[in-house]
Amino acid sequence: MALVTGASYNQDPGVGRGYFSSFEPLGTNGTVQINNSNVPVRLVITRYGGLPPFEVDIPGNSTFAVSINHIQTIGVLNIGGLIASGSVNLFIPE
């Protein structure tokens, strides 16, 4: 069983927003899933300990998931020309 936290987003073009910030000083390990409905967005995951941030562009009308360790923050940037909507979920193993 995993703990799940999530949020929906609805962002104007060029707008970035954070959806998760770790309470654990060393970061959280888990799987981040993004369900994007209409325009491309950039998923940005910052990490603890000088690890490089993880960034990936997600095309419109698609789903993407990545398992990653030491998660500090999760954010979404709308890189399309229209309002972007979708959801971001974090699955944390118990």
- pLDDT digits 0-9 by tens, 6-64: 999 999 999 999 999 998 888 999 999 999 999 999 999 999 988 999 999 999 999 99
**Residue 84 belongs to domain spanning:** 2-93
Task: Output the pTM of the full model.
Answer: 0.92
Provide the pLDDT for residue 1: 56
| Rounded distance between C-alpha atoms, residue 66 and residue 26, angstroms | 19
Looking at the structure of the chain, the number of domains it has is: 1
Give the CATH number, domain containing residue 15: 2.60.120.10
- CA distance between the termini of the chain: 7
- Between the alpha carbon of residue 6 and those of residues 17, 51, 82, the distances in Å are 14, 24, 23
